[in-house]
Structure formats: structure tokens, C-alpha cells
A = this chain, B = another copy of it.
Amino acid sequence: SRRKVEIYQYVVLKWTLALLIGLITGIVGFLNNIGVENISGLKVLLTNNLMQQQKYEEAFAMYVGCNMILAVGAAALCAYIAPAAAGSGIPEVKAYLNGIDAHSILAPSTLFVKIFGSILGVGAGFVVGKEGPMVHTGACIANLLGQGGSTKYGLTWKWLRYFKNDRDRRDLITCGAAAGVAAAFRAPVGGVLFALEEATSWWRSALLWRTFFTNAVVAVVLRALIQFCEEGGGQCGLFGKGGLIMFDVNSAKPAYTTPDLLAVILFLGVIGGLMGSLYNYLIDKLLRTYSIINEKGPIFKILLVMIISFLTSCIRFGLPLLSKCVPCPGECPAPPTANFHDCPPNHYNDLSSLFFTTNDDAIRNLFIDGQNTGFQLSTLIIFFVSIYLLGIVTYGVAIPSGLFIPVILAGASYGRLIGTMLAPYTVLDTGLFALLGAASFLGGTMRMTVSLCVILLELTNNLLMLPLVMLVLLISKSVADSFNKGVYDQIMRLKGLPYMEAHAEPYMRNLVAGDVVSGPLFTFCGVEKVGNIVHALKVTSHHGFPVIDEPPLTYAPQLCGLVLRSHLLVLLLKHKTLFTREKVMTTSTVTNKFKANDFAKPGLGRGIRVDDLDISKEEMEMFVDLHPITNTSPYTVVETMSLAKAALLFREVGLRHLLVVPKTPGRPPIVGILTRHDFMPEYILGLFPHLNHQ
């Protein structure tokens, strides 16, 4: 039968798209890595050549110049092509999955800038990661695939129409976000958990399975491509094992005593949590300052990026000069970072092995176990302080910038510092301390638990430290939670995205739905005059209008349902043949005139606007029956319903409009419509300021 064929098409297409998302995200993640590794490698090689010829000034100029060119490239892409591509992207994806329909977030231009801006930005030596941008990239790829084709470019296919709705798009974008984490960290299970814990707002078991599949594809693709590079020998340029993070922390079974545990809890858990929340606080303050600068225009954005780039280059190149050369602990590290700053043979500069390399390699060096490498205390202190501050001042400039890597760098150097100081008193390895430090900072800023834990375990491939990592994450998150919110929530709030929390605020229990509903309300009759509809569409920006059946169609006025602005526009633009001169209901066969695609949610295009309507004066006086396009099963609450319960319904069922109906009979059948904005704390506390003081 036709129905079974459609279900089959839908299922096949959904899995195919999940496969494609995994495939493309995996390839993009791999190319991103090749790009970054080759750019950084080339830059270090050029600089190092000049250094070895004792031309320090030229080397410095070369280093600063390379970084500056790359940085300006990234900033120009961001400032002129897609401003939405700046920053991490995780808050935007999270907001979209919560139901905030801002299409520029996931537009193709954003995707383009996110990919290349991230390569340039990370290549420019900024203290930024590629993980957040990869999540955004994955989501953009998923959004592009889930568009349902493109009428503009003639890429339409009957099958694709199934994805012209919010729910399926959201599912795909969840898969994309998960695939982004999987591709960035090579952590497929961590990616699934990230999508579950941080990204998505509505979770179903089927979605778990689909993201899992997508991430399995990513894992297989990455593995195949890495094998291709390894076996090929040089065909990937300077792409080494540094490309995709997989730190082998080679410490054996972590044995620990009770004092060790207390030290870890106190120094890493508690202080890490404090440092993490301070990080969030400072980022919040700085973002507000930066936004003033960034609003002045693209030139100012680029200037700001140039200043930060120069600062970063100076620190990365100059600070190692402060550090003495130390004897190599065993073998000396490989040339690029080895005899940097002119160390004698069998000596190396340990500060330059952290600063004068890629962020990934710096993390790898910090995680190495304590038997093989030791860092001087001064090195760790200098590195920690400068990376902590650089990470904060870099986020918010107009380049795609992930937060994971800066936080891991700061946390790992902090942990290693504590580990080195406590070394005489503890049996725990200093490399393990670095890992736990990274966990504590991540917990303190991002406030995730299970997903961070699994990501860290997948990164380090050692399951035996699980209990310690769990403990540190829990403590640092608890400590930080008592000061402020997670960094992504903060950024979302700063951007003014109306995120709907999973729980209702306590003061909502003292309010009822009728308290926050506001008017004036535009309602339509079941058969409405075209002119009235056009007027309502023009003077309001509402996305939904209640439809009320009135006598003589019914005995008394009663609520028929809800009609959407977008559906009204389609009806008025494409179905003028349905207009009637008299106020009569059409026959039920009218739905045959609609095509399956007519009322589908449009893709990236701007959709129909009121101005696109071309309705003659005569037509304005005609009537149109709204019943065929009315949702006759809208969710409703009585006006005396507790606002907290209404919020729960709104959030859990995933609504955009919630109709409020009167309690007592004899009144008009609708009181108002609750939308996302009516549940925002700012709005409610604006209406009832006294609730704020409770």
C-alpha cells in the first residue's frame, strides 16, 4: 500500500542521512586536522630554520607575521561572510535544539566560515580549540542535508519532503552535533553522551540509537583515513599522530592512598571548581566588553583579532626566553621544539615544548607520565597563568573558537603543577594529576559530568582511573554550581536566546496561566474574510492565531483550533481558488487541492512574507475557510492552571503555542496564547517584580 511505501522511504532516508552526516563530518574533521597540522608545522619549521641561523629578530617577525596573516584571514571570513560563525557554536546548537528557530545559525555560509575559519584560527596559534566549531560544523552539515533539497537550485526529490518538519530536522542536527564531538576528539561514545547531556532538549531512545550509528560511522571513517595517511608515508604532508587527539597516559594502575585522595579532592576538585567558575565569570565580563567593540563594525572586529594575535605570538615566542634550558630527561624531543631558543646539546627548553607547539601537542606533553618527563615548577606556573588568561581574552573575538582546548590546557597545567609540588608526598603520577586537573577545570566551566568523563577516558584510553575522574568532576561541578551557571548557558543568556529550562522556576508555582497571558489577541472565525486575515498578518508578528467557530456554524462560539501564520500565507498566496464570495464552509474534498509539499516547513530560504502576497481589493472582501489548515487538536490549559504545570507541559511536549481557555462558561472561548517568551524569567519578573525578592 501507499502508506507502507512511504514509511519505508522515510526510514531508509533517515538512516541514509545519518550515514551521510557521519561520513561528511568525519571527513571534514579529518581535513580540519590535516589543515591545522600542516599550517602549524610549516610555520614552526620556517621559524625554526631562521632560529638555527641565529636570526632571532627575523624568526620573531616570521612567527608573528604568519600568525597575523592567518588570524586576519579567519577574522575577515567571520566579520564579512558569516558573523554567526564566531565563537564556539555549541550555545547556538543547544538553543536550536531547544526550539529556537534562528536559521542563520545553521546557514551554509556559517558552515563554510566555521570550517575554514577554524582551520585558520587554530593554525594561527590562538589558544582556541576546534571542538566547539566541529560541533557547530556537524550541526550545519546535518541541517544542510535535512533541508529537503533546494528549490532554488532545482535539487528537489520527492523523498526529501519527509524532512520538512521541525522534529526530523532536530533529530538530524542532534546527530550532527554528536558526530562533531566524535570527529574532533575521536570519542564516539563521548559524542553520543555530549549530545544527550548538553546539546539536546528532547531525548528519545530512537535518537540515542541514531546518534550512536552516526558516531560509529565517524569512528570508522576516521580510522580508515588515518590508516591511509600512516601507510601512505608523507602523502598527508606534515600530518602526524598529533592530528587527532589520543593521549596515551601510560601510567599503570593508579594506586592511591587516603591522603592522595584528599589532596586530589581539595586541590583539584575544590580549587579546580573555583577556578572554573572564575573562568566563566571573567569570560562573561569580557564578552560584554568585546561586544561593544565588535558592534562598531567589521574593521574593529579584525583589529581586535590582530591585537590578540600579536599578544599570543609574543607570549608563545617570548616567554620561553625566560626559562632556562634543562637536560633532556631521556631522549630529547623531536627537532621543531627541541633545540628551540638555542639550547646546548642534550638540553631542551621545557617551556617552549609547551608554548611553541600546537595546543594538542602541548596537552600531550602535559599528560605524559612523570617518570619520563619533568617540568620545572616555574615553567608550569608561567604556562598556567598565561594560558588561563589567554584563553579568556581570546574567546569572544571574531573567529571560530572552541572552549574545550583552552580549558583542558589550563586545567592540565594546573594539575601538573599541583602534582609536581606534591610529588614528594604522593604515589600518584604527575601525568595523572594533569589529567585530573583538566577534568576539574572542565567540570568547573562546562558543568557536564558523564559526557566529559567518557570523553576524557576515550582521549586517554585508560579506564582504570574512572573513579578518580568521576570524583573530581563531581566535586568541581558542585563547587562551581554554587557560584554561577555553565559557560554555554551564560553565553546563551548573553546572546538573548530564549532558552526554555527543563524545570519550572519555583515562583511559577504561585502564578496561574492567566496571570502571564497578554493581549490584545487576534482571533479568526472558522470562515474568515481575507481582508481581516491580511490585516492581522500585517499588524502583528504572531506565529499562531486561534480559530473560533461562531454561530450560525455552531450553537455557541467554540474554539476550533490554531492556525499558523506560515500556513495562512501559503493559503493566501497559492490557493486563491478557495476564496468564496459567501461565508460558507468548503467541502471536505478541498484538501485534495493541496500538494504534500505546500505546507511543509521551508528550509533555509526566507519562506513567504506578508509583502509577497498579491491580493486584489475585490479578493480582500471575499471569504476563505480556515478549517482545512487549522490544527484542531491544539494543547490547551485552563486559565487557572498553575503556571509551573503549564511550563512543564510546554517544555516536555515541545510546544510553540499553548492555548489558554477560560474556566467559567459563557465567556469568549479563548483567553490567550502562551509562547516561549511568556515563560522567560525576565518577562515574568517584569510583570511581578515582588516575586524576585522571595
Q: Which residues of B contact A466 (CB under 8 A)?
A: 188-189, 219, 458
CB within 8 A of A638: which of B457, B636, B649, B653? B636
Give the interface size bracket for A toward B: 35 or more
Q: Pick 15 A–B contacts, CB within 8 A, sort by A.
A: A189-B453, A203-B203, A205-B502, A208-B449, A209-B449, A212-B474, A215-B470, A216-B467, A216-B474, A457-B463, A554-B664, A559-B638, A559-B663, A633-B640, A633-B645
Cβ–Cβ contact A645 & B635, under 8 A: yes
A638 contact set on B, CB distance < 8 A: 559, 633, 636
**Contact call A458/B463, Cβ cutoff below 8 A:** yes
Question: Which residues of A198-220 are within 8 A (CB) of B?
Answer: 203-205, 208-209, 212-213, 215-216, 219-220
**A220-B467, A463-B463 known; 7 other A-B pairs, CB under 8 Å?**
A208-B450, A216-B474, A219-B466, A219-B467, A559-B638, A636-B637, A648-B653
Q: Which A640-675 residues sit within 8 Å CB-CB of chain B?
A: 640-642, 645, 648-649, 652-653, 663-666
* Distance between A428 CB and nearest chain B CB, rounded to angstroms: 14
Q: Is A685 an interface residue (CB 8 A)?
A: no
* Copies of the protein in its oligomer: 2
With A197-B205, A205-B197, A205-B502: A470-B216 Cβ-Cβ less than 8 Å: yes
Question: Which A residues contact B (CB, under 8 angstroms)?
Answer: 188-189, 192-193, 196-197, 203-205, 208-209, 212-213, 215-216, 219-220, 223, 449-450, 453-454, 457-458, 461, 463-464, 466-467, 470-471, 474, 477, 502-503, 512, 554-556, 558-559, 632-633, 635-638, 640-642, 645, 648-649, 652-653, 663-666
Complex interface: chain B residues within 8 A of A512 (CB)? 633
Closest CB of chain B to A178's CB: distance in Å?
Answer: 11
Instruction: Output the least CB separation between A37 and chain B (Å).
Output: 21
A665 near B558: Cβ-Cβ < 8 Å: yes
Tell me which residues across on chain B come within 8 A of A212, comparing CB atoms: 449-450, 453, 470, 474
Q: In the complex, A120→B314 CA distance in Å?
A: 70
Cβ of B649 and Cβ of A640 under 8 Å apart?
A: no
Closest Cβ of chain B: how far from A166's Cβ, in Å?
15
In the complex, what distance in Å separates the CA atom of A635 from the CA atom of B650?
12
- The CA of A663 and the CA of B559, in the complex, are separated in Å by 8
Tell me the nearest residue of chain B to A554, going by C-beta.
B664
- Residues in B with CB closer than 8 Å to A665 are 556, 558, 665-666
| Chain B residues, CB < 8 A from A450 | 189, 192-193, 208-209, 212
A449 and B178 alpha carbons, distance in the complex (Å): 15
Q: Which residues of B contact A663 (CB under 8 A)?
A: 558-559
A-B residue pairs, 5 tightest by C-beta: A216-B470, A219-B467, A652-B652, A633-B642, A212-B449
